[in-house]
């Protein structure tokens, strides 16, 4: 492939900071770089407390422990998402109640949620697909009314915002009780593998740190708050090493530049493909008024599975790799038998017709646009 689907961005300072971390002689977790990164996110986006994790998957697992999911508890989430969104709660014995996507966007349909709530419901997990906000205001209101926790799977949603009806603008990941971000190499800001838990509800702050450090109060110990540390809760090794945090720091220094570039590529696709898409019955992503675009992903909504296959093959023939995305989780081999049988038509539709175009810092976007415009409906 001349044009891969993704190419990790490097600022050039990654190995410099890694070398510095090594020279400092402390390369396990929660050192200087971990704290610099966490403070950066807290200051820039208004998260109350951030903890770097080894992945977004790990951050979601922490969230499931923090909201005290017990066997039989129900958790509502979209079917059109990554496996980890659900798996983190399955590990604690939850029953997943899958919701459908909106008809105009892969995000969870906020209007479908109320009818899914039962006496066993404990949490709603929203996924900000492509970094575009779910409709958080009605979702938070519903959660409050039914005393539920809201967890944001913000894996794709760094540097994106939601605007409330009164004009208040809040960063995605700062609205729910807890939020999980990913720094996997396919995301906007990367550290190879990596992630972060944002804790917005004060009641979770202390326990989050303990779960993060294998169930010990080691963080308090290092701050001098207690004179010895021990085992006080469940937990795991959720924190990344300083080497990972040092890599991430080099990315954060360039966050504005990365974001400007990614948004420009997204805009080029959006503007220059508009009439071609219309002529072929293909839909382009729309950003609702309450959301912003963080340039994470550009996708096409094809007319049919056949048309999507034809688009993918056309690009492939020109050395360009475009890829489809999630397969509805309620139909997965693992969950099919556990699902309650409701059909989720929009989730299944996006499974069949959505295709993602290459989007990375060094992409020659004009070339992809030129090749796509040669595609005529089959
Ligand atoms: C990437 C992604 C994840 C998983 O992130 P990791 O850091 O690889 O664990 C989870 N949920 C969504 C929506 C994602 O896009």
How many whole angstroms separate alpha carbon 170 and alpha carbon 180?
16
What does DSSP say about strands 169-171 and 161-163: parallel, antiparallel, or unpaired?
antiparallel
Q: Is the pTM of this model over 0.95?
A: yes
Quick check: CB of 52 below 6 Å from ligand 1? no
How many whole angstroms separate alpha carbon 371 and alpha carbon 368?
5
Q: Which of 6, 63, 82 to mutate to test the pocket of ligand 1 (most atoms within 8 A of CB)?
A: 82
Q: How far is the CA of 153 from the centre of ligand 1 (A)?
A: 8
What pLDDT was estimated at residue 376? 82
CATH of the domain at 324: 3.90.1150.10
Last residue of a domain, one of 191, 221, 252: 252
Q: What is the DSSP string of 113-140?
A: SGGG--TTEEEEEEE-GGGPPP-HHHHH
> Same structural domain for residues 235 and 309?
no
* Structural domain includes residue 6: no
pLDDT at 372 over 80: yes
> Same structural domain for residues 242 and 275?
no
Percent of residues, the chain, with pLDDT higher than 90: 96
Q: How many domains does the chain have?
A: 2
Tokens read off for 152: 């944001």
Tokens 């990164």 map to which residue? 37
Q: How far is the CA of 348 from the centre of ligand 1 (A)?
A: 20
How many whole angstroms separate alpha carbon 126 and alpha carbon 157?
11
* Structural domain includes residue 1: no
In terms of Cα–Cα distance, which of 343, 322, 363 is closest to 79? 343
Cα–Cα distances in angstroms (integers) from residue 39 to residues 110, 205, 378, in the given order? 32, 15, 52
Boundaries of domain holding 225 = 14-252
> Same structural domain for residues 79 and 227?
yes
Coil, helix or strand for 18? helix
In terms of Cα–Cα distance, which of 201, 156, 199, 187 is closest to 293? 156
Quick check: CB of 160 below 6 Å from ligand 1? no
Q: What is the pLDDT of residues 333-353, one digit of tens each?
A: 999 999 999 999 999 999 999
Q: Which atom in ligand 1 lies closest to the alpha carbon of residue 129?
A: 13
- Mean pLDDT confidence for 207-217: 96
Banded pLDDT at 1 (limits 50, 70, 90):
confident
Last residue of a domain, one of 252, 277, 310: 252
Q: Which of 51, 54, 57 to mutate to test the pocket of ligand 1 (most atoms within 8 A of CB)?
A: 57
Handedness of CA 193, 199, 205, 208 (dihedral sign): negative
Q: Are 18 and 247 in contact (CB under 8 A)?
A: yes
* Structural domain includes residue 109: yes
* Structural domain includes residue 181: yes
pLDDT at 273 over 70: yes
Whole-number average pLDDT of the chain: 97
Q: Which of 78, 79, 155 to mutate to test the pocket of ligand 1 (most atoms within 8 A of CB)?
A: 155
Quick check: CB of 106 below 6 Å from ligand 1? no
Banded pLDDT at 253 (limits 50, 70, 90):
very high
Q: Which atom in ligand 1 lies closest to the alpha carbon of residue 127?
A: 13
Banded pLDDT at 241 (limits 50, 70, 90):
very high
pLDDT at 378 over 90: no
Cα–Cα distances in angstroms (integers) from residue 46 to residues 49, 50, 63, 142, 249, in the given order? 9, 10, 19, 23, 18
More confident: 227 or 270: 270
pLDDT at 377 over 70: no
- 173: region left, alpha or beta (phi > 0 left; psi from -120 to 50 alpha): left
What pLDDT was estimated at residue 222? 87
In three state form, how does the secondary structure of 267-313 look?
HHHHHHCHHHHHHHCCECCCCCCCECCCCCCEEEECCCHHHHHHHHH
- Mean pLDDT confidence for 45-63: 98
> Same structural domain for residues 282 and 343?
yes
- Mean pLDDT confidence for 256-281: 98
How many whole angstroms separate alpha carbon 189 and alpha carbon 258?
8
CA–CA–CA angle 336, 339, 342 (5° rounding): 110
> Same structural domain for residues 280 and 346?
yes
* Structural domain includes residue 241: yes
Cα–Cα distances in angstroms (integers) from residue 125 to residues 158, 340, 348, in the given order? 17, 18, 19
CATH of the domain at 111: 3.40.640.10
pLDDT at 119 over 90: yes
Q: How far is the CA of 84 from the centre of ligand 1 (A)?
A: 7
Last residue of a domain, one of 252, 286, 317: 252
What pLDDT was estimated at residue 353? 98
Quick check: CB of 132 below 6 Å from ligand 1? no
Q: What is the DSSP string of 344-356?
A: -HHHHHHHHHEEE
Q: Are 69 and 123 in contact (CB under 8 A)?
A: yes
* Structural domain includes residue 2: no
* Structural domain includes residue 196: yes
How many whole angstroms separate alpha carbon 119 and alpha carbon 90?
19
């Amino acid at each position: 492939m001349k044009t891969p689907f993704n190419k990790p961005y490097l600022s050039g300072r990654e190995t410099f900071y890694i070398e510095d971390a090594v020279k400092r002689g402390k390369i396990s977790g929660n050192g200087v770089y971990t704290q610099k990164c966490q403070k950066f996110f807290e200051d820039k986006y208004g998260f109350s407390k951030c903890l770097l994790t080894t992945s977004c998957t790990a951050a979601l697992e922490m969230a499931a422990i923090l909201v005290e999911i017990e066997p039989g508890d129900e958790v509502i989430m979209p079917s059109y998402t990554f496996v980890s969104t659900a798996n983190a709660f399955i590990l604690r014995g939850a029953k997943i109640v899958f919701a459908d996507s909106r008809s105009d966007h892969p995000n969870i349909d906020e209007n479908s949620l109320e009818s899914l709530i039962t006496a066993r419901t404990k949490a709603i997990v929203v996924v900000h697909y492509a970094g575009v906000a779910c409709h958080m205001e009605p979702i938070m209101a519903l959660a409050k009314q039914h005393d539920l926790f809201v967890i944001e799977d913000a894996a794709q949603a760094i540097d994106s915002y939601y605007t409330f009806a009164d004009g208040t603008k809040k960063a995605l990941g700062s609205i729910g009780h807890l939020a999980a971000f990913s720094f996997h190499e396919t995301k906007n800001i990367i550290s190879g593998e990596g992630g972060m838990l944002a804790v917005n509800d004060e009641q979770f702050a202390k326990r989050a740190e303990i779960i993060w450090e294998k169930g010990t109060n080691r963080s308090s110990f290092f701050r001098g708050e207690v004179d010895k540390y021990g085992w006080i809760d469940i937990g795991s090794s959720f924190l990344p090493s300083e080497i990972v945090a040092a890599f991430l720091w080099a990315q954060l220094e360039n966050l504005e530049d990365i974001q400007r570039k990614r948004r420009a590529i997204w805009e080029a696709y959006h503007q220059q493909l508009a009439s071609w898409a219309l002529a072929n019955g293909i839909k382009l992503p729309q950003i609702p008024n309450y959301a912003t675009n963080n340039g994470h992903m550009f996708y096409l909504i094809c007319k049919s599975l056949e048309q999507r296959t034809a688009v993918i093959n056309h690009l492939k023939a020109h050395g360009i790799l475009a890829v489809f995305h999630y397969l509805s989780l309620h139909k997965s081999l693992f969950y099919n038998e556990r699902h309650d049988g409701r059909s989720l038509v929009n989730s299944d539709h996006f499974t069949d017709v959505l295709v993602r175009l290459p989007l990375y810092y060094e992409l020659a976007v004009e070339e992809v646009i030129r090749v796509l415009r040669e595609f005529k409906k089959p």
